[in-house]
Amino acid sequence: MKTFYNHLHALHHGRLEMFRGQLVPCFEVPGRVDDVLACVRARRLGPVQQASDHGSAMLAKIHSASYLGFLEHAWADWVALDPANATRDALPSVWPNHGLRTDVLPANFAARLGRFSFDSGSPLTSGTWVAARQGAFCALDAAHAVADGARAAFALSRPPGHHAGADFYGGYCFLNNAALAAQALRDRGMARVAVLDIDYHHGNGTQAIFYDRADVFFASIHGDPHTEYPFFLGYMDELGTGAGEGFNLNLPLSRGTGFGQWRAALELALQRIAGFRADALVVSLGLDTFEGDPISGFRLRSEDYLAVGGDLADAGLPTAFIFEGGYAVVDLGVNAVNVLEGFEQRAG
């Protein structure tokens, strides 16, 4: 399996995030990808290469022009707001919810920061745009490899992407890599594409992007949003709207769920994807379902991920794996590569 590696990912390195009233060190750190890359190489998963430069036109097929412009210039605008900001990351402090307007883009950068975000836990840094853009290119390359006939490909990048919507960021995510991969597969002639999100946290951005579309089926297995981030999306009654009605599946599970129950949810999601008659599969590969993850609550073990990979291979679809969450850094490489090796062993 070929891995497309974001060699610029460490340019995005947030210092602190807001969590329950205090600033704490970020859980989303460069070491996450470094550990996975080391394991990919140690276990000889396959060739590793840097992504191609696809330009910005493809990004605009998923994200709004105003949002992309904001991201590209955000750091310069942040420093222009106050030169002292060059020494600290940007975190929003005001949001246009509860009846406030979003159709007018304020001149004040602090207000724009809130307009395009939905939490205060995703620091924007001097290298965020470059790292996120290169990560999106990794996802596009993985999708193109699959469209060109590869059974599977792996986009190894950070920051992650599945919480980012068409015009907002949050949950450590700035560009939606899985959505970009799905759109690339559509553009390459795949009539129906499924996105399966197995991160502990609901892929709210991916759901929002495809919620009114019938050509992309979205399924997510995640912690119950009654108690788990992102809280305000991911419920079972969210089925899609308009042309997309019936093409959205949420399978929330309670904190403490073990592998047996989680695997049953995976089986149901794959059954629905088979019924959709998907031509290709994009997997938002979050590994924060691991029992040792510091910010999540499922109880999957490292050996379980081999079975997860095998179950995904049984779907029989060309598959692009897109790296998402997972914050137990020392175990992350083993868990990620277990999924990929389990897939390859079953796929033959």
Catalytic amino acids?
163
CA angle 99, 104, 108 (to 5 degrees): 105
- 233: tokens are 């999306």
Pairing of strands 193-197, 280-285: parallel
CB 251, CB 207: distance < 8 Å = no
Q: Order of strands across the sheet with 2-5?
A: 48-50, 2-5, 152-156, 319-323, 280-285, 193-197, 216-223, 248-253
Number of residues assigned to the chain: 348
Closest CA to 162 of 265, 284, 23, 75: 284
Q: Tokens 């412009």 correspond to what residue? A: 69
Dihedral through CA 47, CA 52, CA 56, CA 61, nearest 10?
-50
